[in-house]
Structure 1
Amino acid sequence: MSFKNEALYYFRNMLKINTTNELATEYLLANHLKEILDNNNIDSQIVYSNKGRTSIISKLAGENKQLQPVILLSHLDVVAAREEEWTFPPFSGDIYENKIWGRGTLDTKQLTAMHLMAFLHLKRVNLPLNRDVYFIATADEENGSKEGMEFISRQFPDIFRNSIVLSEGGGFTVKSENGETLMLFASGEKGTARVSLTAAGDGGHAGCPPENQAIGKLAQVVDYLMKISFPAGNYPVLQRFRDEMEEMMNQENEQGKLVKRLYEYMKETTVTPELIRIGDQLNVIPYKAEVLLEFRTLPNQTREQFELFMKEWTTPPNVQYQLLSFQQGYESDPKGEIISLFKTQSERLGLNMRWVPFTALGKTDGRFIGEMASQIYGLSPTLTLFTEVLKRVHNKDEHIELESFEYGVQLMKDVLEEFCISKGGGENVSDTKGKVESDYW
């Protein structure tokens, strides 16, 4: 079987395994991947969370422990799919009109397949690796990763220290009006701050509602925070994106509007009401109301800076707020050597594109290792337009073009071979932070 056909075979088999998050069936795919690795004489370990959710970790050992390890990170679970809404069954892996259909084709079983094939290739070439390489596929990402990457990062932190991580969140294209194709890869991620707002007021009977209601006060404060002017931000990835995409941001077509929305998201702190509690009885006006707000902070914003920002809020004395949690974002070097290799190897495949960093939309598993890893890149390289990805992910009829998948498989293999074989790579470290000394391994 050719390398290309083998990749497609494994990918379609992955799609046929229903790993909907609510079913907690990641173990089916984890065991399947372990069998593939076993058949290729690669050791791997199934890892169970406290609640029995299943992830898999495998390692190919390198010779130089001073070189930063590479982590190939993806997740096994997918969001739910209603079969009656799909043109093809969501867990069929059907191929029609040169497209592969199924839940997970873009989030993120395609990335698991790309990583798997590159990992197998590194083993098969039978040459010494210059660094450790890990293949990690996790559970529970679609429900916050508590039983997946959050658990693994706490259990095995040594794996991730000073590592170079290739994960989800980018690797999609946009096209300018002059026909130029640009590849967007994620080189950072926003942080997350969760804030509780609680308002007290007069309760009573709904037939005679009081004027001083808690919900009214809370609504005023939420409205104020939704309109507040957040501190302006500036950081290297934002600057690079603005410089590279300024011309496209002025385009009025679909591609230009997407680029402009990405820029607006990248440069501002955003806030979203996450949960509202306003009583649990009919015909009763509650004396207390609460809302949980999620702030997406700029990658370089610290907890201390956010707390100072909170002190500037103007809120009534009977509305209290509390910072429940803060998880700082991260930013990676968009000019790292491995990114240069992706660009060079893509050109060797006949695709001369401009590679542009951006700040990932949403939250990825990278957020749990932002302070441990050296560089984290959201890069699942495909030829699919970003506008199409946003329409298909978590939606009915999710699919990926066959050409797009094959491009990603080939590119991932070529880059990892160049970067990780003894004569390739070169991102050295001068201290011992790059060593991986987990007792687990």
Structure 2
Amino acid sequence: MIRPQHGKIAFRAALLHLLEDPAKESLEQSYQYIDDGILLIEDGHIVALGEYRDLSTQLDDSVVTDMSGKLIVPGFIDTHIHYPQTRIIGAYGDQLLDWLNNYTFPEECRFADRQYAEEVAEEFFDQLVMNGTTTALVFGTVHKHSVDVFFTEAEKRNLRMIGGKVLMDRNAPDALLDTPETGYEDSKALIDTWHNKGRLSYAVTPRFAPTSTDDQLALAGKLLREYPDVYLHTHLSENQNEIEWVQALFPDSKNYLDVYDRHGLVKPRAVFAHGVHVCDDQCGRLAETGAAIAFCPTSNLFLGSGLFPLEHIEKQGVKVGVGTDVGAGTSFSMIETMSEAYKIMQLQGKKLNPLKSLYQITLGGAKALYLDDKIGNFTAGKEADFVVLDLQATDLLSVRMKNCQSVEEKLFVLMTLGDERVVSQTYSMGSPIYSRDS
């Protein structure tokens, strides 16, 4: 099991982190970049960062790891992903509802076998860390042991992770259905075992409104009342056919979000994946309650769901994180995910600054998850999760970087041309958990 590094350690490299949302503050004040810096860590937490010339005289050379030429950024935060869909990433040719029936549900049936779940969980976490993701909000399956397996693997690697058992009592294969009562009891047992154990947190996880009855959603709300600091994780307004289905199933609700709201599920620490087609009324309610949307660029494009109006939704005060949404999402890489986010904005006549992109997958994600007191940037006292990026990882990147004139341009090129190959190392609380060269 990986433990935090004890004592003082330091890393020399270029350092970049966000201090605030670039869309809300002046661009120059929203970030800190140090071309030749020191990141100082003690017992797994950030102590300080600054210029090498200023801090190096205070340090014994033996505690400094020289990564000159590399760029260190905070660990990436994925606010929506399905670990049981790891082996069906890239499944061909369907939109949301058919995709669930043809690929997702058959694959999730295989998780009745605990050993199968263990194999996939290990593969899933290997993919996360090789892509620089150190925190994620994660779906399990309906099987209680799928979540035990998930948390066990996360604990081994000392990662800050949030996960939950899927609640689903209708409109799915019989093998994947629970009942309102069993879903409640299983979730309660998992919360008691795993929530706030080390760096782990639990999320009450109805798949989406069409697969849960009112009775099940009501018991999900009961769990949130009984455990006020757990998360709520589900889907919202991803696909037009899905929205029409929700309206037919819940005719008394004024909109999709209202289905959840009537059962007490719209609250701080509630994360609703997608929100591609939310109306202003729903945005107002999300902002009022402190709930968040997870913007999932690659899956929205892959399933033909639509173009997420990031700027419009954020202007209404809604918290927004970013999710890969694997397996409908086509990459574990948050870097590649933000490349697709840029293109989605372009198709709406909007621009996405590369510093804003980095904010969304670090500090912005932390704020969406109410974890910005612990992770998201290099403020003193926070947990030392970070990624070492190689700006020369490919021949094309190496050639292109020679012509970059600013940190913004370097970051944009990295996100446009980069993938998992740019991740040189990943650290959790100051301890190495992945190295590309090992």
What TM-score do the two structures reach when normalised by structure 1?
0.24
> Highest CA radius of gyration, 1 or 2?
1
Structure number with the bigger relative contact order (C-alpha 8 A, sep ≥ 6) is 1
